[in-house]
Structure 1
Amino acid sequence: MKRLTSDMVETRFGQRRLERWMEFTERLSSLAVKVRNQAEAIGTEEATKNAFIMPFISSILGYDVFDPLEVVPEFTADVGLKKGEKVDYAIMRDGEVQILIECKPSLGVLKIEHASQLFRYFAVTNARIAVLTNGVQWHFYTDLDAPNRMDAKPFLVLDLLDIDETLITEIQKLSRDSFDLESIISSAEELKYIGALKREIAAQFREPTDEWIKFFTARVYEGMFTQRVRQQFTGLVGKAAQQFLTERVNDRLKAALGVSGTNHAAEAPTSSAEVVEADLDRDTEIETTLEELEGYQIVKAIACGEVKPQRITQRDAKSYFAILLDDNNRKPVARLHFNGKQKYLGLLDDDKVETRHPISELDEIYAHAPEIRESVKRYA
């Protein structure tokens, strides 16, 4: 019998982890498509439970909704003078309540006022995770601010109509097969504030507040911040924000298409669509293949042992498919040379000298897991 080395065991474990992550992502995407197609047609809370919430508990989180030892519908516990109040679902592990879920109709807007039962039940059960959902949006709460008292703000917000891929791994930690409460709680504070900041920045870009306008005006305008100046800069700040976003999108599109060089001002495209069209006209030979994306996911899974998955990015070019740390071409993790009959995995040493390793199957990338992790560690 062939003796398994530690690297082989780690490689197989990494492969299984990647496969589980990809399967989890596919199930989440499938449910998102269903939600997008049916949300407008479902108006009652009961219909929302049947169409969206029970499938999320079963197919995404992996709990048996028909096993009362795992999922208890209409969970009841007496809370002080409140007798017989119910929370829609309680998810159990080892006989203890771990997750409480309160449901609202899919067409309704989620508000913290809807979570009164969650607040009370959180304090009298062993649950560390509470969820308020309308089947479309999922707000996850814990007790960061005070022990055994549910926070007023969620640490994680999942919108099935606009899935933030950086949250997928965190959601997976709540699933039956990958349940990791300690890891969830330890990362909850960072998730809470990063998520809140991203939502606030997005809101300011959509409709800047007076504070936001005054903040930027004071850095470029030396006069008094009068009402006339406020009105003038309200439009200017909004216009600058939109142009900034457009320029960033254009830069990413050029990078993804492998375009280099500077356009002449007279020939510069004026919209994102024109940038895409112009870039494609200049470079139609770049085609990102499914095989390259699968190879990228394998390298990403290996690198996740050292850094968070969202830090591993990719850029495709004519000659190779680059996998980078922090979307920085000065931090190459690996290169995939899949354009010829013979495929190669390119790995770089301390001096960024590349060595190409021939591979016939994508699984062979796992054999180079130690070098990939070492490459990430050099930059991280």
Structure 2
Amino acid sequence: MEFSERLDSLATKVKNQATAIGTEEATKNAFVMPFISTILGYDVFDPLEVVPEFTADVGTKKGEKVDYAIMRDGEVQILIECKPSMGALKIEHASQLFRYFSVTNARIAILTNGVVWEFYTDLDAPNRMDAKPFLVLDLLDIDETLIHEIQKLSKESFDLDSIISAAEELKYIGALKREIAAQFREPTDEWIKFFATRVLEGSYTQKVRQQFTTLVSKAGQQFLTERVNERLKTALGVSGITHTASAPAPASAEVAEADLDRDTEIETTLEELEGYQIVKAIACGEVKPQRVTHRDAKSYFAVLLDDNNRKPVARLHFNGKQKYLGLLDEEKVERRHALEELDEIYAHADSIREAVRRYKD
């Protein structure tokens, strides 16, 4: 299994089990040890590779422990501190990592709750752990651009020099992306003023600020939607199609074009393909992505398991003014749910996963 596939598999497990894990010990067993073993490739039962409850007395602090130390050639290379999966990570949780980082040979420290993994090094001062991570991996929302960098820390591909040299760029790019995302979600006064003063004729007053708070947020969302639509149009080789909801692009242009050419009397729209991608993303919590397929028909767009009409996951009724998501029960009786926006499909995630579970074995 490829590195990215192993990461996706663990991510699926985390999505399904994160809310059921309540303690730090359970987090270690369910998520952290599998990450060390299946993702990074180290033997968690070999003390020459992984030392649990690693101890290195620091000054007056005696007997304090770091949850795991990953060893290479008898030297500590990576320190890992764990917290319960239900809790948010805070830099205050890394006190042991700070102390141990300065008295071991470790150049990488990881703070994790099993879901989010924060990777630290010593960019700001030698042998002193930075206060901010250079890389953040969220298993509930994996940034594919980071996969190659994480693989450099695996036993098979360990390349410490390469990841340290890339750490500064990763640190600032990651921080900028998170800040930009935060501004799109909830723009700050500085962000609002920055754009308002560039398009506004006149003084920037309190009334203007209130007006542009809504306008900047709306413009940001529309900008993202338009960029997604442009990517879809480019991938599909079509133009002149407009819609308002956004979703991940199809996996490849070739697949999308083949789908569009399946039947010349059937018009497959971008909204149908976007809806399919949402249903597929939900279904992938139960099965591998390649098992979720679709077939378009004149009356509805079907999402199927294993390309089998006897295994309907959902039906998209998008040909009329009102859009509907069709879900079938165990007796294959369909119930339609009206949709105003494609994102509303996520509200039916449990029913979609239940349908997949009925057929997947």
Give 1:32-71 correspondences, 5 Å limit.
32-71=11-50
Per chain length, whose mean CA-contact separation is higher, i.e. which structure has more relative contact order (CA < 8 Å, sep 6+)?
Answer: 1
Aligned with residue 190 of structure 1, among 150, 153, 169: 169
- Give the AA of the match of 1:155: F
In 2, the alpha carbon distance for the partners of 1:271 and 1:38 equals 29
Per-residue CA deviations over 1:126-180 (Å, capped at 9, x if unaligned) read 0000000000000000000000000000000000011111101001000001000
Aligned with residue 116 of structure 2, among 137, 141, 166: 137
Give 1:284-295 correspondences, 5 Å limit.
284-285=260-261
- Runs of 5+ consecutive residues of structure 1 not aligned to the other structure: 1-21, 288-380
The equivalent of 1:242 in structure 2 is: 221
- Give the AA of the match of 1:285: D
Pairing 1:123–2:115 present: no
Count of matched residue positions in the alignment of Structure 1 and Structure 2: 258
TM-score (ref. length: structure 1)? 0.65
Go from structure 1 to structure 2 and tell me whether the alpha carbon gap of 1:136 and 1:286 turns closer, same or farther (over 3 Å shift). Answer: farther
Go from structure 1 to structure 2 and tell me whether the alpha carbon gap of 1:169 and 1:272 turns closer, same or farther (over 3 Å shift). Answer: closer
3-state secondary structure, aligned to 1:222: coil
The equivalent of 1:221 in structure 2 is: 200
Shift of 1:272: 4.2
Identity in percent:
83
In 2, the alpha carbon distance for the partners of 1:67 and 1:235 equals 56
3-state secondary structure, aligned to 2:57: coil
Give 1:31-180 correspondences, 5 Å limit.
31-180=10-159
The equivalent of 1:208 in structure 2 is: 187
- Give the AA of the match of 2:12: V
Relative to its length, the structure with more helix (as a share) is 1
In 2, the alpha carbon distance for the partners of 1:146 and 1:202 equals 29
- 8 Å CA contact 1:257–1:286 kept in 2: the answer is no
- Give the AA of the match of 2:207: R
Shift of 1:285: 1.3
3-state secondary structure, aligned to 1:144: coil
Go from structure 1 to structure 2 and tell me whether the alpha carbon gap of 1:134 and 1:237 turns closer, same or farther (over 3 Å shift). Answer: same
3-state secondary structure, aligned to 1:98: strand
TM-score (ref. length: structure 2)? 0.69
Per-residue CA deviations over 1:274-299 (Å, capped at 9, x if unaligned) read x99xxx89981179xxxxxxxxxxxx
- Runs of 5+ consecutive residues of structure 2 not aligned to the other structure: 251-255, 264-361
In 2, the alpha carbon distance for the partners of 1:65 and 1:249 equals 42
- 8 Å CA contact 2:236–2:257 kept in 1: the answer is no
Go from structure 1 to structure 2 and tell me whether the alpha carbon gap of 1:39 and 1:215 turns closer, same or farther (over 3 Å shift). Answer: same
- 8 Å CA contact 2:37–2:44 kept in 1: the answer is yes
Per-residue CA deviations over 1:106-128 (Å, capped at 9, x if unaligned) read 00000000000000000000000
3-state secondary structure, aligned to 1:130: strand
